[in-house]
Amino acid sequence: MNEHIDSEKRHPIQVVAKRTGLTADVLRVWEKRYGVVEPARSDGGHRLYSDQDVERLALLHRAISAGRRISRVADLSLDDLHELVREDEDAAVHRQRTIEPGLSAAPDTYVAGCLEAVETLDAVKLEKSLMRAAVALSAPALIDDVLAPMLALIGERWEHGKLSPGHEHLASAVIRRVLESLTSAVMPGPEAAGLVVATPSGQIHEFGALFVAAAAATQGWRVIYLGTDLPASDIADVARSMNASAIGISLVFPMDDPGIAQQLSELRSEAGPNMPILAGGRASAAYREPLEAIDARIITSVDDLYATLSAIENDRVAA
């Protein structure tokens, strides 16, 4: 049992969000819809959580990341949740080991191998290394621990003149192919929740959008990937025609385009007030104000994306 864990309600929601990796939005939805924890209220009316609540929420997050539905695990006791998460994580480690015993599971090894392939302009080696990483690692680890750091290093070396536009283009072409193959390898039925992914006009960096598409596809979402540089009204049009359950937009560069606020407001008015809009990418914080004005959720990690998609899916099933 876990008596050593404090039951005093003392942590505000932002601290709980940081500790569990869940967003404040997800915490509120899970509480309201599934009663996963019962926070107390401070004198000012703010939610306060205990250590036990934090532990329970962190376990629920791990269960969701392993592919469970919140509606199925929300009522489990703390001990049962511990048991379930241990089982899921043991199985994942076992799966990693049994697929190809010779593969290393350390993301850094793949990043180093991929960079070497880029430096020597060896597209075949790069593609093989990325496919190996895709087999050996979970989708979030592939994206967050291999592809994102690799892109950052390519960007850095390119900036310092150590890599040419040719190197970057070769890497871009291979990454695009690998991510597209991950996305199209999963073929969910028409009844699956749909996610439209694109970047708005003026945003031509593509990989953030491709990452989201691949990550959502591995969670069983029906992904409608529209690529880059599309007027917001067209993104909303597709979302409506395809009966999508959410829209994901990636904002990377520039960070100060005055036209983005207008596009975002068109996106909201044409997609309707109830369509969840998710935003990510290194420029999303710079557009926080217009994003908040249209009630978009800024997503900061792949785990956060999974938890948000799972909450949207559960809302959809419950509706």
The footprint of ligand B12 (CB under 6 A) covers 143-144, 148, 151-152, 154-155, 159, 168, 172, 204-208, 211-212, 248-250, 252-253, 255, 278-282, 299, 305
Q: Among residues 39 and 200, whose Cβ is nearest to ligand B12?
A: 200
- Least distance (Å) from ligand B12 to the CB of residue 34? 23
Q: Among residues 10 and 162, whose Cβ is nearest to ligand B12?
A: 162
Hunting for tokens 């509480």 — which residue is that? 31
- Least distance (Å) from ligand B12 to the CB of residue 92? 20
Count CB atoms within 10 A of the CB of residue 309: 25
- Least distance (Å) from ligand B12 to the CB of residue 309? 9
- Least distance (Å) from ligand B12 to the CB of residue 23? 11
- Least distance (Å) from ligand B12 to the CB of residue 210? 8
- Least distance (Å) from ligand B12 to the CB of residue 301? 7
Q: Among residues 106 and 152, whose Cβ is nearest to ligand B12?
A: 152
Q: Among residues 76 and 198, whose Cβ is nearest to ligand B12?
A: 198
Q: Among residues 113 and 208, whose Cβ is nearest to ligand B12?
A: 208
- Least distance (Å) from ligand B12 to the CB of residue 100? 25
* Cα separation values, 192 from 1, 216, 245, Å: 39, 11, 9
Q: CA–CA separation, 219 vs 209, rounded Å?
A: 16
Q: CA–CA separation, 137 vs 140, rounded Å?
A: 8
Token readout for 45 is: 């009316």
DSSP string, 184-201: HH----TTSPEEEEE-BT
Buried b (16+ CB within 10 A) or exposed e, 175-210: beebbeebbeebeeeeebbbbbbbbbbebebbbbbb
- Least distance (Å) from ligand B12 to the CB of residue 31? 22
- Least distance (Å) from ligand B12 to the CB of residue 293? 17
Q: Among residues 152 and 317, whose Cβ is nearest to ligand B12?
A: 152
For the CA atoms of the chain, what is the radius of gyration?
21
Q: Among residues 144 and 313, whose Cβ is nearest to ligand B12?
A: 144
Q: Which of 227, 218, 197, 210 is nearest to 134 (CA)?
A: 218
Q: CA–CA separation, 316 vs 210, rounded Å?
A: 24
> For strand 47-49 and strand 11-12, is the pairing parallel, antiparallel, or unpaired?
antiparallel
Q: CA–CA separation, 174 vs 130, rounded Å?
A: 9
Q: Among residues 30 and 287, whose Cβ is nearest to ligand B12?
A: 287
Q: CA–CA separation, 39 vs 46, rounded Å?
A: 9
Token readout for 132 is: 């190996």
Q: CA–CA separation, 109 vs 6, rounded Å?
A: 40
Q: Which of 279, 218, 272 is nearest to 248 (CA)?
A: 279
Q: Among residues 211 and 225, whose Cβ is nearest to ligand B12?
A: 211
